[in-house]
Amino acid sequence: MGKNIANTTHTFFFCDGGSCQKAGSEKVVREARAYLRNNEHWNNTHTIKTRCNGRCEDAPTCIVHPGEFWYKELTPEKITHIVKGHINNDCPLETELLFKEGWDAQVSSKEIAPIKPKPFMFKTDEELGDCLITRGFSSDQYLYPLFLYLLEHPKGVTLSVTSEKPIPFKDVTAVNYTKAFTLELETKIGCMALIIAAVPKEKEELLQSKISITEYFYQKETEQVGIRFKNKFGETLGNIEFDSIHNEAWKYCTKIQLQNLTLDLAQL
């Protein structure tokens, strides 16, 4: 039987991402739930395991509502005091806080600067020849939005995948990401599968097909802009080509996928 959330006074969101798991989040969750059960707060509180909440450097983390309190570097010993304090409406343990509502900035002793793509650099590439090229991001958090955007803005965009005939993106009728590891591009005549999520090391066949390197390029001779996908072994899996540097989808790539990078054609 489900819990009656109408009776919930506090909700504790425990990050269950990979970094938090490695830092001991499971012990923290178990300790919190045991305290709530044994002190008769089980029915008026709720604990939830979430996916990664984006603060891996502060693992393990927990978010408490109401109030939007973000706690960092948790241990089983700390979490009992934190849970007890919120239930009793005492002041939060500010020494353990990463952030709370009303603060102007977060407090972390392990802050990691955001990773940004490097500028386009000149290179004589084996496949592309003289070009400007940079590497973007290859996680599914970037690739899935990329393909969704191309589905909605297909004009002047062509997709080529190794061993398959190139197709105009306007022929793609749907982008589905429901299967493990696999993004599916549906067309009127079939389905094209791309491996975009992290896969276990033992799945060698999937590793051969997984997009692990995403490169954005401007080819000097043809003035072609595009994206090249490779696996972790450096083998090309496919390309996306745009009809011009002024293409709306290419502008999206430089603004969103590459965080406002610009092409400096003077390098050529």
Q: Where are the domains of the chain?
A: 5-100, 121-267
Contacts of 37 (CB under 8 A, 6+ apart): none
Residue-averaged pLDDT of the chain: 94
Query: What superfamily in CATH does domain 5-100 come from?
Result: Glutaredoxin (3.40.30.10)
In this structure, the number of other CB atoms found within 10 A of the CB of residue 141 comes to: 11
Q: Indicate whether 93 pLDDT > 90.
A: no
pLDDT of 190 above 90: no
Task: Report pTM.
Answer: 0.81
Average pLDDT of the residues in 16-45: 96
Q: Give the rounded percent of residues in the chain with a pLDDT score beyond 70.
A: 100
Give SS3 for 123.
Answer: strand
Rounded CA gap, 168 and 83, in Å?
Answer: 55
Partners of 63 in the beta sheet? 13, 70
Distances (CA, A) of 96 to 78, 79, 106, 249: 8, 10, 12, 44
Mean pLDDT of 177-183: 93
Fold of 121-267: Heme iron utilization protein-like fold (3.40.1570)
Place of tokens 């996916």: 51
Residue 163 predicted with pLDDT over 80: no
Residue 124 backbone phi and psi in degrees, to 5 = -95, 100
Lowest mean pLDDT among 40-54, 81-95, 115-129, 183-197: 81-95
Is the pLDDT score of 233 beyond 70? yes
Q: Give the rounded distance of the alpha carbon of 175 from its chain centre.
A: 18
